[in-house]
Structure 1
Amino acid sequence: MNEWIVTAKDARQRLDLYLIKKGLTLSRSRIQKLIQEGQITVHNQKVKPGYRVHPGDRILIHIPPPTPLEIKPEAIPLEILYEDSHLLVVNKPAGMVVHPAPGSYAGTLVHALLHHCRDLSGIGGKERPGLVHRLDKETSGLLVVAKTEKAHRALAAQFKSHTVTRRYLALVCGVPKARQGTIELAIGRDLKERKKFSPRTARPRPAVTQYEVVERLGEFSLLSVRPKTGR
């Protein structure tokens, strides 16, 4: 149970937006649902997401534990580029979610991996067995998956120390003047669109990305990009 007291400088903001601004790391829709369910209250009283906060308001936040998921193997085709007794490398298609999450409880890469391997490293947890990194739903690309605890620890250590090189091809709007360069910004979850990361955030973190123009396509560009910070 978390408790926040509203100060004068934060008065008259919508409750849901106030919580996002204060750094509650949930999507706006999730926050609104918790308010509607009475899990987030003001002076122990249920209010609406659009409630305007006042100085001295005592906001209580209770986030119920997630319902345990029972993940069953699914016979989903996989494009496996390499596999041995310790790990495998799979080409994830665009449109596939990597692991189960709210709104995606079936048809994920994890469901397919469990059908293929039957037993994966459990270090990633029940919802993310064998995973040491991931890709966004609409991003295609290679993922390395650990099949043993030893492989999981070794791979996780490499990703943590940034000894793994990750490169992406990105089609972007606009044409950079320089053929190559480095973009440095402080970004975090967008204040209004929580599924996006942008400089408009309550908790900025440094992000460094190197890029090189592969091809100029009118008003668009195909870039080879290499994130240096993981963001």
Structure 2
Amino acid sequence: MAVIDLNSDLGENVADRVVSDDAAMLEIVTSANVSCGFHAGSPEGIRETLAAAVQRGVVIGAHPGYRDYENFGRTNVEIDSPTLQAHVEYQLGALIGLASAVGGRVAYVKPHGALYNTIARDERQSADVVAAIKAIDPNLVLLGLAGGVVLEVASRAGLQVAAEAFADRAYQPDGQLVSRAQDGAVLHDPAAVAERMVRLADQGVIRAIDGTDVRVDAQSICVHGDSPGSIAMAAETKRMLQDAGITIAPFAGA
């Protein structure tokens, strides 16, 4: 029987920039990628999301990004290796501390936004992120884009890795995500999104933007918390996966 995880990016709200319904999403997903504060969120808001995840038994992951709060971490940043490693270490340390304060623990790391996309293809920044994870806690699992360079770099360095696919994002024929600047990059129809993810879990393929099938080996599915209609997409994806006999369970230990 197929088994797959559902995750979402959470802990990104502040009073003047509310982007997701964390409470509702935590009722659906099995893993929560919680902001570490550099790209979004506030200490008090992040702590509240962590506490809610602990209460619901949702596995917690750290979601570090570039220091780019103004652009929600979605702008490429030129950064040297010592600085990037220190920034990731700082974010992991902060989230691990807050999680501990509410009775939880961080089980994995999923980088955010532009950093995530960069390390899917850039070996140098991949090595910086991997070095930061190993320095803080080498038992943390690294979650990255299926087929991404960072998964190879992390595996060579001795880290556990897991690959993910995106329910609400369009794919290029080479398995990379379609740029958000391009029309059709973000998907919104709950039924269509759910059908794509059932096919992924069952057959290991996703239909690319050009109509071809892309082979994707993933252990987790992400529904972005800040996408319009995200709760409906996540709920329908979960329902259709379960109806198809697919078990939904976290990829990392609780």
TM-score tier (shorter) = under 0.3
**Between Structure 1 and Structure 2, which shows a larger proportion of helix residues?**
2
**Between Structure 1 and Structure 2, which shows a larger proportion of strand residues?**
1
Structure with the larger RCO, 1 or 2 (CA within 8 Å, 6+ apart) = 2
Structure having the higher Rg: 1
